[in-house]
Amino acid sequence: MYSITFHHHARQTVLIKDKSAMVTTAAAADIPPALVFNGSSTGVPESIDSILSSKLSNIWLQRQLIKGDAGETLLMDGLTVRLVNLFSSTGFKGLLIELQAGTSNEAANFEAKIADIEAHLSEIQVKDYKTSSDSLTPDSDNYICDLAYQYVRALEF
């Protein structure tokens, strides 16, 4: 099971196990109002990670923590590019690059742009990289779950 917290997506945490994903939030502002109104929620949530590492720590054990700090976001050529260096407790894990097409027009050329980038990479003799454009839900669209799944796929060493 993987747990990915996106600080650039309202601190939502996606839990992924096998091919299913669950989106959770620890932000009070993101709780559906109906859940607070009927008393289901106290209005003060915490992250699923802290619940897993406290109340469920007899079932779940955290094996590894990979963290990306101080990343950069660039807008170029119709792409939103996010770059961050990843570290685990044992040291540098690699450079993570997230590429996102902006408008739907730009999305049409997305594949071509990726191919361009890959061509550049092979030009400068970089072969040790992994890309993922997988989707958890081919038929429906859950952006943050797909993104988390791509992170997992790209980071599975």
Partner 1 sequence: MVQQLSLFGSINDDDYDLLISTLTTISGNPPLLYNSLCTIWKPNPSYDVENVNSRNQLVEPNRIKLSKELPFAYLIDETMADKPLNFKILKSFTNDEISLDYSMTKNILHDEVPQTNSNNSTTVGKKDGENVKSDVKEGENKDDEADVDMDATSTVSNKSCSSWSLQISDIPAAGNNRSVSMQTIAETIILSSAGENSSITSLMNELGYVFEFQYLTIGVKFFMKHGLILELQKIWQIEENGNSQITNGGFLIKAYINVSRGTDIDRINYTETVLMSLKKELQGYIDLSVPDRQSMDSRVAHGNNVI
Binding site for partner 1 (CB under 8 A): 1, 12, 16-26, 30-35, 37-48, 50-51, 54-61, 136-137, 139-140, 142, 145-146, 149
Q: Which is nearer to partner 1, 109 or 132 (CB)?
A: 132
Q: Which is nearer to partner 1, 47 or 85 (CB)?
A: 47
Q: Which is nearer to partner 1, 3 or 79 (CB)?
A: 3
The 10 Å CB-count burial string (b at 16+, else e) for 75-101 is eeeebeeeebeeeeeeeebbebebbeb
Closest contact distance (angstroms) between CB of 86 and partner 1 is 24
The CB-based long-range contact list for 9-18 (8 Å cut-off, 24+ gap) reads 9/144, 9/147, 11/47, 12/144, 13/47, 13/48, 13/49, 14/144, 14/145, 14/147, 14/148, 15/48, 16/136, 16/145, 16/148, 16/149, 16/152
CA 69 to chain centre: 14
Q: Which is nearer to partner 1, 10 or 107 (CB)?
A: 10
Closest contact distance (angstroms) between CB of 124 and partner 1 is 36
Closest contact distance (angstroms) between CB of 151 and partner 1 is 14
Closest contact distance (angstroms) between CB of 35 and partner 1 is 5
